[in-house]
Chain A
Amino acid sequence: AQTVTQSQPEMSVQEAETVTLSCTYDTSESDYYLFWYKQPPSRQMILVIRQEAYKQQNATENRFSVNFQKAAKSFSLKISDSQLGDAAMYFCAYRSAKRGANSKLTFGKGITLSVRP
């Protein structure tokens, strides 16, 4: 079974600064997808960024980028130029790309990010 570990329960960053959120995972599969989701307080979860395991290039979406280290099974999220609206819980998630597999997401416990003005 796949597991996702987010070992930092909380982090804080100064507005306009850069912060990196860590995530490690465990799987015996070679083909999969990794995601970062954002869950603002009392609001629904939204997708921040996704990474296909077969791609060596790290995904980027505007101020958000990932550092995907497949051999180390590490998938960190970097938020540049942090904004007050970035304050939320961030979840790392894994999905198998195996043909016929259940496409459910396996989530980590999440990390609460606060942004200081």
Chain B
Amino acid sequence: DTGVSQNPRHKITKRGQNVTFRCDPISEHNRLYWYRQTLGQGPEFLTYFQNEAQLEKSRLLSDRFSAERPKGSFSTLEIQRTEQGDSAMYLCASSHRGFQETQYFGPGTRLLVL
């Protein structure tokens, strides 16, 4: 069990560019979540997957955001035409659906849009 990993850890981009982040969950975890955290705030839910199915998307997830989880393993979060307001830490978490479900977080990807 190597924990949840995220890549890249840091990303600096210019406004208008597209960026893609990757999350590798703990193996055998069938649920995967994306959250966004801005400075001084708690994480806010963006979207989640059960296996390969995307079951819910937050209103925070505008049309410029898309997430996938092909084959129910790793997930990608893409932001198109980035804006300065997209600057934040993007956190991924995974869990195994069940009674004692606990979400385990990755280290996050810090995005800075210039």
Q: Name A residues whose Cβ lies closer than 8 Å to a Cβ of B.
A: 4, 6, 37, 43-47, 50, 91, 93, 102-110
B33 within 8 A of A: yes
Q: Summarize A's interface: helix, strand, loop or mixed.
A: loop
Q: How far is the CB of A81 from chain B (nearest CB, A)?
A: 25
Q: How far is the CA of A45 from the CA of B43 in the complex (A)?
A: 10
Residues of A within 8 A of B107 (CB): 43-44
Q: How far is the CA of A50 from the CA of B102 in the complex (A)?
A: 9
Residues of A within 8 A of B28 (CB): none
Residues of B within 8 A of A37 (CB): 105
30 inter-chain pairs at a CB distance below 8 angstroms, sorted by A residue, are A4-B42, A6-B42, A44-B4, A44-B106, A44-B107, A44-B108, A45-B91, A45-B105, A47-B103, A91-B42, A91-B43, A102-B48, A102-B56, A103-B31, A103-B48, A103-B95, A103-B97, A104-B33, A104-B45, A105-B33, A105-B43, A105-B45, A105-B103, A106-B45, A107-B42, A107-B43, A107-B44, A108-B42, A109-B41, A110-B40
